[in-house]
Each structure stands twice: as structure tokens, then as C-alpha cells.
Chain A
Amino acid sequence: MPKLPGPPLPRALRPKPSRPGADSEVTDPLEAVAEGGITVVDWLDERTSLSPGIRWLLFRRVPRGINWAYTLGSATLFAFLSQTVTGVFLAMFYQPNAQGGAYESIRNINDNVFLGQFVHGMHKWGASVMIILIFLHMGRVFFFGAYKYPREMTWIIGVVLLILTMAMGFTGYLLPFDQRAYWASVVGVNINAGGPLIGPYLSDFLRGGPEFGATTLSRFYAIHMLLIPGLMAALIGLHLYLVTKLGISAPPWLQAEEPSEVVQQVEV
């Protein structure tokens, strides 16, 4: 079977032929800067060999007929990145202290810190945006049949990511530690307790004991900002690897065509 040609180099990376009449010496300062950049990139690439990987990741062949619905996965990724960045900076001001410190630190973020209310708002509303985007992305994959062979693992990892995102929403909801956060988490933990046989132990694990206490808040905080984000980042990496490796599925309204030019029929 003849090998398909590799992905073409994008235009910007192709070697440019020298202009007729121009000498090889670089005189234009802009060109000199560009030359310097190329030297740095070449230096890195010679030592890391990253450029084939980046080209493999970014410059892919995609089926014809794809549309804006195919960008929902990337949109979810950017929602995750936004949550990560805003969350990291919120953690600089937040205290997981059930004795009133948590509520006070959130109040301080909202009232006193420069752009605090904005960053807090980004994180709060971004959480809902991420859930909405995930469901839209999931719906696109489902209705386009993109979960079918050979992309089942991508779907399964995606479902795990959905569950982890919901766990993020659940654990993050307690952190402001106001009345709504407290009682919503009480109800949420008790819903977990409603599961037969393991429910009581699950709720004890979530609360860090039989009653809602100081350890509950720090537990939720640790799960919210260390445990689940690490897992999610790793799984998103795996998800993207599979997307790149398996390629993007064609929209269901496109019929598969016989590849007439690439595969040649040979009479023996």
C-alpha cells in the first residue's frame, strides 16, 4: 500500500527562495531579527526535536465539511485554562478557614483586592460556562456519531472528565463558606449518604468525620485545587493525544468516497 504524503509545511515555515539580485548578506534589521529568531528556534529544535511533534499536533488534515460545532472541545479546553489561571490567583488570597476566615477572605477578594471581584467572577461564572460547553461538546460528539470506532476511548475519557468537572463544581461551591455554600454542600453530601451500603462511608469521607466541620472545608479545598485539577490535566492531555492520533471524524452527512487518486488499481 503506498504511503500517504505527510502533512505539508505551512507556508510560513517553507524555505523561501532568495530574491534575484539580492546578495546573501542580511542588511535589513527586521530580517536580522527574524534570522536571530530562526537561530534560536533551530537551536531548540536541534536539541529537543519538538517541531515534528508540534507539526503533528497542530497542522493536521481535517475532513471537509467541518464547522463551528467542531470548536466546542477547544472552547471547553480554554474554559478549563481560564478556571486554572483564575483559580491559581484566587488561591493566593483565599484561606480555607471554617472559623470565619474563609468567608472574610472571599469578602476581602471582592471588596478590597484590585480586580478581585472580576477574577472571582470569572472563576464563578466560568465554572457554569465550562459545564455548558462540555454538554454542548458532548452533544456534538453524540449526534455526529464521533464516539464510534476507533474513538471509544476518547469518549470514555471525556465522560470521566465530565464527572471530574462536576466534582470540581461540587467541591468549589463550598469554598465561599456563606449560608448558600454551607447548606448546599450539606445537602450535596447527604445526597451522597443516600447511596445504599457505601453511602454512609462516602459521606464520612467527604466531610472528614460524622459532622460538617473545619476539616470539611480544607478537604474540599484540597480536592478542588490539587487532586482533581491534576487528574483533569493528565486526562485532557490523553484526550487530546487520542484526538490528534485518530483524527477528526467527518460530519455524518458526508458520504465516504472511494479514494480514486491515491490508491491505484494495478492489474497483475
Chain B
Amino acid sequence: MAEDRHKQTSKYTLDRNMPGAFEGETVNRRRFMTGTAHAAGGIAAAAFTLPALGFALSPIFKRLPFQWQIIGTPADFTETAYTTKVITIVQGIGEAGKSIAYVRTRWPAVDTEPHNKFNSFIALSSRCAHLGCPVRYVQASERFVCPCHGGVYNFRGLVAGGPPVRPLDRFYTYVHNGYVYLGPRYSVNSELERFSPRDPGEPLDGIGQFLYPARFDTSVLPSTRNLPLPPKITP
């Protein structure tokens, strides 16, 4: 067995026969100087690394402002068919920031989820809940079909077949001054219970809502009371 070279016999430098040791000293000047230099280098490196890291990670904590946008008047929509509306998801990047919402009037005979002031119109996101490809509504079969991996949703946006793990996302809608406004996105589970927006591929039934936590910025379910009202329209 080799002798343990790191074993300390005494905590005093003098007892350990270190060159230049003083009486009662536990850290000699050379080691102190080395430690100081390392600490200074570490502080200098952290001074630029930590802000840069925070800068790169900040989008995880970024809060997106609610964007209400006018998508038409109540007369534009029917109960039995979806109307396609081009909406802006990300502002300032032109075509790349646009998406599609499928909108219809709430149909009490079909829409069994409780009615409130934000779902008088049903606005479904075209983002497939499997991996985010754009779904297309087929009126003949009353189904949403995804071109990428064959996800199928029924008239209400519930999963009818294929790989999607939850129904299509929805948007808040609000009627004000004779216009229909479209608000932020929210996700739903298979019971159409409302959850804060999740990415595609994240199930919300059972353990799913805990395995895929909400974003930091939207971890609280959006309150229906504190939602900003739509802006006034000047004719």
C-alpha cells in the first residue's frame, strides 16, 4: 500500500517543514497568494460569464404581452362550419409570424364545456398538438387533418386519431363593440379543461400536467378577471 501523500500531519505550516513558515501559521504566504490569484481569476471570469449566460437563458423567463386582435364581426361566423382567419402570433417579422385560427360560433348542442365570456366563439389553433405542424380543416368529414404524421381531430378539436397527445390549442375570444377579438393561446386537456399554453407533444391528462410544467411566465392560469379589455375602436 502506497503512503498517502495528501495526509496532513499537522495544521501548522511550521510542523510540516514548509519553507518560510511562521509560528502558529496554518496557511503559508505562497498558498494564500495562489488562492488569491485563483479567486481573482474566477471572479473576473464570472463577471462576464454569468451575465452572458443570463442573457442567453432569459427567453425562458420572458413574458409575452397579451395581444388582442380583431378577427371580424359576429355575423362572419357560423355554428356549423369553421372560418379560417390569418392571425399574427409574433409581431414584427412579417409572414413568418403569422398563423391560422379556425373560428366558429359556440354551438351549445355540441360544445358541452361551460360557457363564459371568453368562449362565445370557438377559436382553434392550427398548431397540431403532436409536433406543431399546421392542421387543415376538411369540411366534408368535419375533421382536422395534420399533413406531417397523420394526426386527426374532430369538429370540437378533440383527438380523433393518430399521434396527438391532447386536443388542439384554443384562443381566448371576446366580443366587444360589435367585433370579435382574438386573445392569447391556451391549451386544453381531453376534458377541455383550460391550462396555460404548452408546447406540442406535451400531454395534459393525468401525470402529464406535472411532467410538463407551465412556463415560468404563465405558470399561473390566466385569470379571466384580470384580462385586459380590447382597445376602443374609432370609426
Contact = CB atoms under 8 A, between A and B. Distances in A.
B92 interface: yes
The interface size bin for chain A is: 20 to 34
A87 interface: no
A252 interface: no
Interface string A161-178: 000000000000000010
The interface size bin for chain B is: 20 to 34
A214 interface: yes
Contacts of A197: 211-213
A177 B202 contact: no
Contacts of A15: none
A182 interface: yes
A30 B1 CA distance: 66
B212 A199 contact: yes
B13 to A, nearest CB: 37
A2 interface: no
6 contacts: A177-B96, A186-B133, A187-B132, A191-B201, A196-B212, A205-B60
A204 B215 contact: yes
Interface in B197-230: 197-202, 211-215, 217-218
B178 interface: no
Looking at chain A's contact residues, is the secondary structure mostly helix, strand, loop, or mixed?
A: helix
B233 interface: no
A208 interface: yes
Interface of A: 98-100, 177, 182-183, 186-187, 189-191, 193-194, 196-197, 199-201, 203-205, 207-215
Contacts of B215: 200-201, 204, 210
B148 interface: yes
B198 A200 contact: yes
A197 B95 CA distance: 32
A189 B213 CA distance: 17
B97 interface: yes
B59 A205 contact: yes
A186 B199 CA distance: 10
B75 interface: no
B19 interface: no
Contacts of B96: 98-100, 177, 182, 212-214
A35 to B, nearest CB: 48
Interface in B114-139: 131-134
Contact of B90 (A186, A199, A211): A211
B183 to A, nearest CB: 15
A205 B216 CA distance: 12
A208 B202 contact: no
Interface in B24-46: none
B187 to A, nearest CB: 11
Contacts of B94: 98-100
B175 to A, nearest CB: 25
B3 to A, nearest CB: 25
Contact of B93 (A186, A189, A194, A214): A214
B132 A209 contact: no
